[in-house]
Amino acid sequence: MRSGSRTLNLKALTVATFFSLFLLSAGVAGFAITRLHEINKVTGAFPDEIRTIALLTRLDENAQLLRATDLLAHAAKSASEREHDVDEARRISEALSAGWSAYAPTVHGAEEERLAHSFHESWQQFLAIQGEATAFDRAGETAIADRVFTQDFQAAGEAFARDVAAVLAYRVEMGTSRAAMAKTAGVESIYGVIGALILTALISIVITIMAIRRISLPIVSMSQTMLRLADGALETPIPCLHRTDEIGSMAQAMDTLKRNAIASRAAEVQHREELDRRKQAEERSRIEAAEQAAAQAAELIVGSLGDGLASLAAGDLGRMVSIVLPDAYEPLRRNLNDTTAALGRTMSDLINSAGSVSSRAREMAQSASELSQRTERQAASLEETSAALSQMLDGVKSTAQGSFAAMKLVDQVRGESEQSGVVVGDAIAAMGRIENSSRQVSTITGLIDEIAFQTNLLALNAGVEAARAGDAGRGFAVVASEVRSLAQRSAEAAKEIKALISESSGEVKNGVDLVVRAGAALTTIRNQLTSVSEIVNSISAGTRDQTTTLNEISIAVAEMDRMTQSNAAMAEESAAASEDLAMQASALTDLAGTFRIGSGVAQGRVGARDLEHISGSRGRTASFGARTSVNARAVVLPFSSKD
């Protein structure tokens, strides 16, 4: 009997199982796609950040070079050298303008806008002071130009360089922060996907155990019970009578069939006993009746009952004995007709029960087919996820290539700055040698001045002595006068040379100071380039970590596809169990089909059609399993950790 509260039937259980797995898979895929979108959003800005950092680095270098070039133009010894340095400074200034035009559109955020505004104002102030100092140089106002270059120009240049360095440091800090965000998002994605996969695996195991306990094991038990009942073991207990789902309905139908068979057997035994009693009565009647009446009655009875029993033996349960027998034998005819009718009803109930079993098996097969189709759509979704991961990996590879190119460029610029440092060192050494030579020439000039002074004194003494000698010393006086004149000219020439050497020494000293400061600036640039190279290396390492993370996500997607294949195999096993059940129901229908009861033959054909439908469903499930296996190989991402 069915209870008032109906439990979940097999169809609802199958649908609930599929939707549970579908929701879990959709949740895992949605989580993975969301996290990957966040990672892609963060890493997508890396190439722009690297280009901006490289641009700011070039701006910093050009700012240093512009200051050094302006100082060289101011210290130039000739007009041609000054014009060459001025042209070079103009070219560097144009490069700075182009760099600012490229950098300005990339500014974002209030802090960076403030730094960029300060950088632009200090640059404009630097250009104004540069133009003023250059104008003084061209006008020949050397003293004013020296003051401007040593005071205002240096202060403006230092402010300009400081603002450029501040903007560069801000963008480097922003790039480092984004790299940390991408790494954190990747780690969270890995842990989230692993947890979701573990939860999915546990729920799949629970669903599998429930399916085995609620479907497979009861069906096997029902099949064994049906075989024992078919063998005549009517005392066999019917399992699953307490269930209120389709299997419970099958058990109740089988229990009805069992009770009918038991009743039929009891009626047959009773009928045989009744026949025995009536045979004894007939024997006594035949002894007492006349031989002719007995012969006629026997002929009528044997003919009528013989036809009925022959029809029963031939399996025709719809044919009854219609000839009225003598009163003594009429109950025998009625009993035979009643037995035939009861057996016909039993066979009809048996065929109807077998048809119900076939119908339930068809519904189970259809549910398995629908589960297979949904599993196929799930496999297609996994394939699309694989393609998205592949595209994301291509973007990460492009970022890695860009960072590698930036690193090579930074190394090249650093090498050039080191060569410039060597050239500046050679210039400092050459200036030192010139300064030493100037000091030696100054010493020699002092010695010449001293000799000229002593020669002048000697010539003066010789003139005095010649005057004392009178006419005899007149010729010597003339010679002494010439020697004195020559000594005076030598002294004047020595003073002029000394003044020129003193002025040259001052210029050389200023040149040495300028070259030393230029060397210090190049050293600062080289150190900053080293820092930029380390940052670019860190970015490249972060890109490799992202590639490893994407590979691990790809492995997780492949594991999800393996579970999808397992679900397809479970659907195929369910279809196979349905087919076995339908085959057993068909065998039972064929067994009952040997009896002709009107619509029984047609019902047997219906059972055959149900069997063909279930077999076709199983074939479609098997073909889907093959397609799922092919798709599973396509889901694996086309890259490895070496990329």
Query: Could you write out the DSSP letters of every residue in 361-424?
Result: HHHHHHHHHHHHHHHHHHHHHHHHHHHHHHHHHHHHHHHHHHHHHHHHHHHHHHHHHHHHHHHH
Ranges 134-143, 187-196, 521-530, 620-629: which has the least confidence: 620-629
Rg (CA), the chain: 57
98 — pLDDT class (breaks 50, 70, 90) = confident
For residue 126, the model assigns a pLDDT of 78
Which backbone phi and psi does 316 adopt, to 5 degrees?
A: -90, 95
Q: What contacts 269, CB < 8 A, 6 or more positions away?
A: none
What's the one-letter identity of residue 203? I
With beta carbons less than 8 A apart as the criterion, state whether 639 and 390 touch. Answer: yes
Residue 74 within a domain:
yes
Half-sphere exposure of 495 (CA within 13 A, CB side): 7
Q: Does an H or E element contain 93, and which?
A: helix 79-103
Tokens linked to 24: 């879990």
What's the one-letter identity of residue 213? R
What span, in angstroms and rounded, lies between the C-alpha atoms of 157 and 521? 11
For residue 567, the model assigns a pLDDT of 74
- Pick the residue with more confidence: 199 or 550? 199
Residue 637 within a domain:
no
For residue 259, the model assigns a pLDDT of 83
199 — pLDDT class (breaks 50, 70, 90) = confident
**Given the structure tokens 């729920």, which residue do they identify?**
203
Q: What contacts 549, CB < 8 A, 6 or more positions away?
A: 39, 186, 187, 189, 190
**Given the structure tokens 């020296």, which residue do they identify?**
146
Half-sphere exposure of 372 (CA within 13 A, CB side): 27
Q: What angle do CA 376, 381, 384 make, to 5 degrees?
A: 130
Assign residue 140 a region: left if phi > 0, alpha if psi is -120 to 50, beta otherwise?
left
Surface-to-core class of residue 327, CB atoms within 10 Å of its CB (0-12 exposed, 13-18 middle, 19+ buried):
exposed
Single out the residue of 76, 113, 120, 77 nearest to residue 97, CA to CA.
Answer: 120
For residue 315, the model assigns a pLDDT of 67
pLDDT digits (tens, 9 = 90+) for 324-360: 767 766 777 777 777 777 777 777 777 777 777 777 7
49 — pLDDT class (breaks 50, 70, 90) = low
What span, in angstroms and rounded, lies between the C-alpha atoms of 628 and 380? 9
Average pLDDT over residues 424-437: 71
Average pLDDT over residues 407-436: 70
Tokens linked to 363: 């519904």
What span, in angstroms and rounded, lies between the C-alpha atoms of 637 and 32? 15
Q: Quick check: 413 pLDDT over 70? A: no
- Chain-centroid distance of CA 517 in Å reads 52
Q: Which domain holds residue 556?
A: 10-215+370-585
Q: Quick check: 226 pLDDT over 70? A: yes
What's the one-letter identity of residue 168? L
Average of per-residue pLDDT values in the chain: 71
For residue 5, the model assigns a pLDDT of 39
Half-sphere exposure of 476 (CA within 13 A, CB side): 16
Ranges 118-132, 412-426, 542-556, 571-585: which has the least confidence: 412-426
616 — pLDDT class (breaks 50, 70, 90) = low
CA distances from 403 to 529, 544, 549, 551 (A): 15, 11, 19, 20
- Pick the residue with more confidence: 507 or 80? 80
Q: Quick check: 629 pLDDT over 50? A: no
What span, in angstroms and rounded, lies between the C-alpha atoms of 297 and 299? 5
Residue 354 within a domain:
no
pLDDT digits (tens, 9 = 90+) for 232-288: 777 888 888 887 777 778 888 888 888 888 888 888 888 888 888 888 888 777 777
Residue 23 within a domain:
yes
- Chain-centroid distance of CA 246 in Å reads 45
Alpha helices in 212-245 (DSSP H): 217-230
Residue 171, beta-bridge partner list: none
Q: What angle do CA 416, 422, 427 make, to 5 degrees?
A: 125
Highest-scoring range by mean pLDDT, 50-54, 115-119, 436-440? 115-119
With beta carbons less than 8 A apart as the criterion, state whether 188 and 157 touch. Answer: no
Q: Quick check: 456 pLDDT over 70? A: no
596 — pLDDT class (breaks 50, 70, 90) = low
Residue 304 within a domain:
no
With beta carbons less than 8 A apart as the criterion, state whether 24 and 199 touch. Answer: yes
In sign, the C-alpha dihedral spanning 463, 465, 470, 474 is negative
Residue 555: count other Cβ atoms within 10 Å of its Cβ: 12
Q: Is the pTM of this model over 0.85?
A: no
Tokens linked to 42: 């963060």
Residue 225 within a domain:
no
What CATH number corresponds to the domain at position 496? 1.10.287.950
For residue 32, the model assigns a pLDDT of 72
Residue 102 within a domain:
yes
Residue 146 within a domain:
yes
- Pick the residue with more confidence: 296 or 102? 102
Q: What contacts 342, CB < 8 A, 6 or more positions away?
A: 263, 264, 267
Which backbone phi and psi does 342 adopt, to 5 degrees?
A: -65, -40
43 — pLDDT class (breaks 50, 70, 90) = low
Q: Quick check: 402 pLDDT over 80? A: no
In sign, the C-alpha dihedral spanning 252, 253, 257, 259 is positive
Counted domains in the chain:
1
What's the one-letter identity of residue 371? L
Q: Does an H or E element contain 571, and which?
A: helix 474-592
With beta carbons less than 8 A apart as the criterion, state whether 365 and 575 touch. Answer: yes
Residue 316, beta-bridge partner list: 596
What span, in angstroms and rounded, lies between the C-alpha atoms of 415 and 597? 105
Average pLDDT over residues 102-128: 78
For residue 291, the model assigns a pLDDT of 62
What span, in angstroms and rounded, lies between the C-alpha atoms of 461 and 457? 6
Q: Quick check: 484 pLDDT over 70? A: no
For residue 296, the model assigns a pLDDT of 65
Residue 596, beta-bridge partner list: 316
CA distances from 472 to 460, 467, 477, 479, 482 (A): 17, 9, 10, 13, 18
Q: Quick check: 109 pLDDT over 80? A: no
